[in-house]
Amino acid sequence: MATLAVNQLQLAPLGAGDLIDRTVRLYRRHFMALVRASTPPVVISALGSVLYTVGVRSIATTDSEGRVALYFLLALLGPLFWFVGLVAQLIVMGGASRNLVMHLLSGEPVTARLIYRSVRSRFWGLFGATLAVVFSLLLSMTLASVALMVTLLLIVFVAVITVPIGAPWLTAILSIVLYAAGLLATLYIFFLIGGRVAYVPQVLMVEGKGVMASVSRSAGLARGNVRRLMALFLFSTFATYSALMLLMIPLGWVGYLNGINPFEMDATRLPVWYSIISTLFAQLAGILLEPVWMLGLSLLYVDERVRHEGYDVELLASQRFGDMPELPAGVEGPLAPALAEAGAARAPDEGEKFPGSVLGLTGR
């Protein structure tokens, strides 16, 4: 009975709280492997941030024309390195999805080596998918910013009406309510549009589809998933901010003891070393929290397929009976393999610990 309880697949869908809980548990279990996988692209972004900071800060303090040209070049290269690092982060996140799904499927270990092996296997596909995701996110960000601008205009309109009547408290309350509603609407619009491409890397790596087919497939899977994506975003944002504060508060005390105002808004008045360390700490917080998105989106992808397609049945069949037999050319079957590549799914070895559930809903 105990064995049956462990092997029983959980069919209850993941709510926002369940998603965050399972994500944190998987993150804690595979912390070092996920951090090693996310470090190289973040280091590239950190290098770009440092180059930009040094270049911009040093241009105004040098009289040599040669050094001005050098610092100007550094200021131009910085954003380029930062963007390359960002694209690399998205590619690694996409490559990690296969390893994570294999872990949920058959208990395959989560390692940086396997993640980068997946990245190498379909690098150009991941690159194209990343560009499609970046374009969609920029479009959704533009449309969401329109909602925020409308909110700011409404706040100005309310102030114009309420200030002359001598009710500053009413102006403050209405402004806060409108601003909060505007932020919520902005996030909703952003994830309503940008969330449609949330599963593009997972579809590409797990189902073996092309870039455009992955975009279309992701849009269908992500429909009606705005609240859970918002919950994952808010959780990771607050977690990143908390990690950053744990690093920045000691740095602020060190700066204060050396005559630096940690709350200085003009970055040009801060020493270069202080700005560089602050930038590096921000990137370090990204290294620690980027795996949250890797895990969260992979869990959401599996959960969406369990909800709508009975993916848990496919996974159970793959665990018990191995890969589906290949059909003759030109023949289409009603079911797809649990993973696209033949031989990717394997049955657990004798005595291997079964992961418990495709969604990690059981176990500690």
The confidence score (pLDDT) of residue 269 equals: 73
Give the pLDDT mean for 287-308: 80
The confidence score (pLDDT) of residue 341 equals: 55
The confidence score (pLDDT) of residue 75 equals: 85
Contact 170, 204 (CB under 8 A): no
114-128 tens-digit pLDDT: 888 888 888 888 888
Binned at pLDDT 50, 70 and 90, residue 219 comes out as: confident
pLDDT at 110 over 60: yes
Binned at pLDDT 50, 70 and 90, residue 272 comes out as: confident
pLDDT at 337 over 60: no
Mean pLDDT of the chain: 76
The confidence score (pLDDT) of residue 211 equals: 86
Measured CA to CA in angstroms, residue 130 lies from 13, 78, 87, 118, 337 at distances of: 28, 21, 7, 15, 25
| pTM exceeds 0.95 for this model | no
pLDDT at 305 over 70: yes
pLDDT at 76 over 80: yes
The confidence score (pLDDT) of residue 326 equals: 61
The confidence score (pLDDT) of residue 362 equals: 39
Find which of 183-192, 248-257, 280-289, 313-322 is predicted with most confidence, using mean pLDDT. 183-192
140-165 tens-digit pLDDT: 889 888 888 988 888 888 888 877 77
Q: Output phi, psi for 264, to 5 deg.
A: -65, 125
- Within 8 A by CB and 6+ apart from 301, the residues are 97, 101, 199, 202, 203, 206, 221
| The CA-based dihedral angle spanning residues 253, 254, 258, 264, taken in that order and rounded to the nearest 10 degrees | -60
How much helix, strand and coil, in percent to the nearest 5, is found in the chain?
75, 0, 25
Give the pLDDT mean for 288-312: 78
Binned at pLDDT 50, 70 and 90, residue 20 comes out as: confident
pLDDT at 332 over 50: yes
The confidence score (pLDDT) of residue 263 equals: 76
Contact 361, 9 (CB under 8 A): no
Give the pLDDT mean for 71-79: 87
pLDDT at 173 over 60: yes
Tell me the three state secondary structure of residue 244: helix
What's at 344, amino acid-wise?
Answer: A
Binned at pLDDT 50, 70 and 90, residue 42 comes out as: confident
The confidence score (pLDDT) of residue 238 equals: 82
Q: Rounded to whole angstroms, how far apart are CA atoms 111 and 73?
A: 37
The confidence score (pLDDT) of residue 258 equals: 81
- Within 8 A by CB and 6+ apart from 83, the residues are 48
Tokens matching residue 144:
């969401």
- Percent of the residues in the chain that have a pLDDT greater than 70, as a whole number: 79
Give the pLDDT mean for 265-280: 76
Give the pLDDT mean for 88-99: 84
